[in-house]
Structure 1
Amino acid sequence: MKLTFISDTHSLHSLLTLGTGDVLVHCGDFTGRGSLEDTLAFAQFMAKQNFTHKIAIAGNHDWCFEDQRSQEAESILNDHGIIYLNDSGIVLDGVTFWGSPIQPEFMDWAFNRQRGAPIRQHWEKIPAETDVLITHGPAFGILDWCTHGARVGCEDLLEVIQRIQPKIHACGHIHESYGIREQGGTTFINACILNEYYRVVNPPIEYTLVGENL
């Protein structure tokens, strides 16, 4: 299964060139400030991409997925053939995907949860058999470094990942920590397309699950 990961495109998706594959995954922040108009433009872009399946989660900028417009926003994605995950999962060709937009409290944005019990209740929903875990924010200490010198990932998320050991954990949110890392049997991916100056500089990250990886 060929997977392509992107994140934090912030309505600049039209500048991307994507190939083909089995599953295209967006790890959140596909809009600037969460308007329905931006959501529609994103959905139309995704619908044109040559992938068998398309998955998206929301991010802290995607306000219309957490406020009173959430039902309409989700319908826009669904109507364009995009699988929207919100503390939910799906099995595609035998591979189990789980997605969540939640991240530790970060300024006054969408899908913020306090560290500790409030955020842990979301991670406790992740099934033990998850193969590909998609969250907007990173796990603590892994692809979560900010330019001001702090690590801002979630400790409770890391604990769950270490316990269930998904094959892939994909995220975004922290633009300056784009990259890929293997650790503890999991491939960690930060797929932010924009850098910290909100410029399109990073390519999509491709990963193929084959043989014993499946």
Structure 2
Amino acid sequence: MNLTFISDTHSLHDRLPAIDAGDVLIHCGDFTGRGTLDDTLNFAEFMAAQPFTHKIVIAGNHDWCFEDKRRKIAEYILKEYGLIYLNDSGIEIDGVKFWGSPIQPEFCDWAFNRERGADIRQHWDKIPADTDVLITHGPASGILDLCTHGERVGCEDLLHAIQRIKPRIHASGHIHEGYGKKKVGKTLFINACLLDERYQVRNPPIVVKL
């Protein structure tokens, strides 16, 4: 199974180079710029046109319409275009178990913010122990989470959950400067941000074969 990871396209997906075909295309959140339904529809059309058998999406902190009163409409748009939307939920594809969550530690005044500690931990406690591919918008603490100003902003409780579950892959985005991949123990960590910290299309999708 070929997995292709992208993240943080912020409504600039029309500027991306063509994405090579694969089995599963995964977007790790922040696919809109301002979290509008129009942005969501435009993104859904883009994703539907990609040459993949399955397409998995989670929301990010910019994707406001997936957390406010427009949530049902936003989710309906993705479903109508054949996309799999995960929100503290999972799906199994050809024996591979995926789990996705848009939640991140409090970060300015954005969508899907949760306080560190018990508030955010309740979301990570929902992750099944047999998860193969974990998708969250924000990174784990200390791994692909370094900002340009020198602060690491990943979630410690998420890291503890990953250490307990040991998924084969943990994919995230959110911190544009953290793009890349890193193997720690049994888990391959991926930060799939395609835009750099100046919101310029800079990085290619990350492709992994399971």
Question: CA deviation digits over 1:156-214, x for unaligned, max 9?
Answer: 000000011000000000000100000011000000000000000000000000xxxxx
> Which amino acid in structure 2 is aligned with residue 3 of structure 1?
L
Q: Map residues 64-213 of structure 1 onto 2, 5 A cutoff.
A: 64-209=65-210
The Cα offsets for residues 40-88 of structure 1, whole Å up to 9 and x where unpaired, read as: 0000000000000000000000000000000000000000000000000
Question: What residue is the counterpart of 1:50 in the other structure?
Answer: 51
Aligned match of 2:14: 14
TM normalised by structure 1 equals: 0.97
Question: Match of 1:28?
Answer: 29
Alignment partners' CA distance in 1, 2:146 and 2:65: 28
Query: What secondary structure, in the 3-state scheme, does the structure 2 residue paired with 1:169 have?
Result: strand
Q: Secondary structure at the match of 1:133?
A: strand
Quick one: percent identity of the two aligned structures?
Answer: 74
Q: What root-mean-square deviation, in Å, do the aligned CA atoms of Structure 1 and Structure 2 show?
A: 0.3
- Read off the aligned partner of 2:96 and give its amino acid letter: V
Q: In 1, distance between residues paired with 2:15 and 2:54?
A: 21
Distance (whole Å) between structure 2 residues aligned to residue 81 and residue 55 of structure 1: 9
C-alpha distance in 2 between matches for 1:61 and 1:55: 18
AA at the equivalent of 2:6 = I
Aligned length: 209
Tell me, in whole angstroms, the C-alpha distance in 1 between the residues paired with 2:130 and 2:14. 35
Superposed displacement of residue 15, structure 1: 1.5
Residue type of the alignment partner of 1:35: T
Measured after TM superposition, the shift of residue 139 of structure 1 is 0.1
Shift of 1:33: 1.0
Q: Name the aligned partner's letter for residue 107 of structure 1.
A: C
Aligned equivalent of 1:212: none
| Secondary structure of 1:150 counterpart | coil
For residue 190 of structure 2, give the secondary structure of its aligned residue in structure 1.
Answer: strand
1: CA distance, partners of 2:149 / 2:185: 27
After superposition, the C-alpha distances for 1:86-122 in whole angstroms (9 at most, x for unaligned) are: 0000000000000000000000000000000000000
TM-score, normalised via structure 2 length: 0.99
**What do residues 16-40 of structure 1 show as CA deviations (whole Å, max 9, x unaligned)?**
2201000000000000010000000
Q: Which amino acid aligns with 2:19?
A: L
